[in-house]
Amino acid sequence: MTMSARINPFFEPGVFPTGSRDAVRAFHRSIPTYSPTPLHACPGLAASLGLGQVYVKDEGQRFGLQAFKALGASWALHQIRLMKPGPMTVATTTAGNHGRAVAWAARQLGIPAVIFIPAHAAPARVEKIRSEGARVELVQGTYDEAVQHCAELSAAQGWQVVADVGYPGYLDIPNLIVEGYSTLFQEIDEQLAEMGVPPPTVVAVQAGVGSLLHAAVDHFRAKPVQPMMVAVEPLESNPAFVSISTPDGSPALSLGRQDSIMAGLNCGTVSLAAWPTIRRGVEVFLTITDRLAADAMRRLARPAVGDCAIVAGESGGAGLAGILALLQSARLRKARNFLGLRPSTRVLVINSEGATDPDGYRRVVGAADSGLG
């Protein structure tokens, strides 16, 4: 397989208002360890790419958990507790970050948590989940097989599933998780205003099962002036790209082996809760190589003069890797021109995770430049 881009034939132009997220933001502000994560302007990186500006929202510093996921997990669990105040055990499936977030949020509430994770996951990610007091169940197989196992065992045990992927009969809680992610994008608006700089004209977001991308579309498509949206996936885990390529844009299975270094994006299906919004709201769907993900990690770790160093994990650098692919690949010229990537373009990417697998990060970036001590 080679990198590919598809301009969305099902895109629906216009403004799509969303409900107020004030209660979500107020809840997150009530958490003692809450503070907005940094939004970095990277003019040196932008100049090297021939762009007007690159903004990087750095979620590697969120709640000390090195990923954005706790925004969704904490809000969802807060809402679940309001509806179900009695004793409960929560369960979820993860490639690492979401599971740790659920375990962390459950620990704050004194709730037991059981986290299902593919057995091939990086040991560091498994141990970080255990460090939050959760029970970890290693599942032989893919992420999607772990999702099924979690659903079946949770139903048998009476556990409350808190997954960020929607599937038949399970759609409400993934939408709560998406609501939780809205805080990230509200922070971006406030930070851009504080910096006195204009908003992005292109936003590139990791796809995965689609919850973060869903939140991004909800936020930006509610604005009267909207950036163009790009969904970025690994070649080997590309369910959104495959889905948008079907005759009617219906959810379809990834064609890859789900073995990308971008572990947080290794999934075979899109969330059924997220897909309708993604299908109508994203202009371009893009698949990228692991090589470009590694290149993005190194560019952020070894910044141009005037930029700050950013620790981005393999999945964290995927949005920037998508921009690199669009700028470098002749195969993607049509999509590049469609997006209008030029010296006046302002790009926003989300560093969705820090070095959640420190050994893997050092292999890509190099020990001397890892910034991990």
pLDDT digits (tens, 9 = 90+) for 183-204: 999 999 999 999 999 999 999 9
| Residues 83 and 127 placed together within one structural domain of the fold | yes
Helices (H) and strands (E) in the chain, counts: 14, 11
State the average pLDDT for the chain.
96
**What's the pTM?**
0.96
| Residues 88 and 133 placed together within one structural domain of the fold | yes
Please name which of 188, 162, 158 lies closest in space to residue 175, comparing C-alpha atoms: 162
Burial-class residue 29 by CB neighbours within 10 Å (0-12, 13-18, 19+). Answer: exposed
Q: How confident is the model at residue 96, as a pLDDT?
A: 87
| Residues 188 and 277 placed together within one structural domain of the fold | yes
| Residues 10 and 119 placed together within one structural domain of the fold | no
pLDDT digits (tens, 9 = 90+) for 225-268: 999 999 999 999 999 999 999 999 999 999 889 999 999 999 99
Spatial strand order in the sheet of 284-288: 5-7, 284-288, 228-234, 202-206, 346-351, 53-58, 39-41
| Residues 294 and 259 placed together within one structural domain of the fold | yes
How many independent structural domains does the chain possess?
A: 2
Rounded mean pLDDT, 86-92: 96
Euclidean distance between CA atoms 372 and 354, whole angstroms: 10
| Residues 150 and 199 placed together within one structural domain of the fold | no
| Residues 133 and 86 placed together within one structural domain of the fold | yes
Euclidean distance between CA atoms 254 and 272, whole angstroms: 14
| Residues 347 and 234 placed together within one structural domain of the fold | yes
Reported as a pLDDT band with limits 50, 70 and 90, residue 130 is very high
Range of the domain at 126: 70-169
CATH number at residue 102: 3.40.50.1100
| Residues 353 and 285 placed together within one structural domain of the fold | yes
Reported as a pLDDT band with limits 50, 70 and 90, residue 1 is confident
Rounded mean pLDDT, 161-190: 97
Q: Does residue 373 have a pLDDT over 60?
A: no
CB 184, CB 59: distance < 8 Å = yes
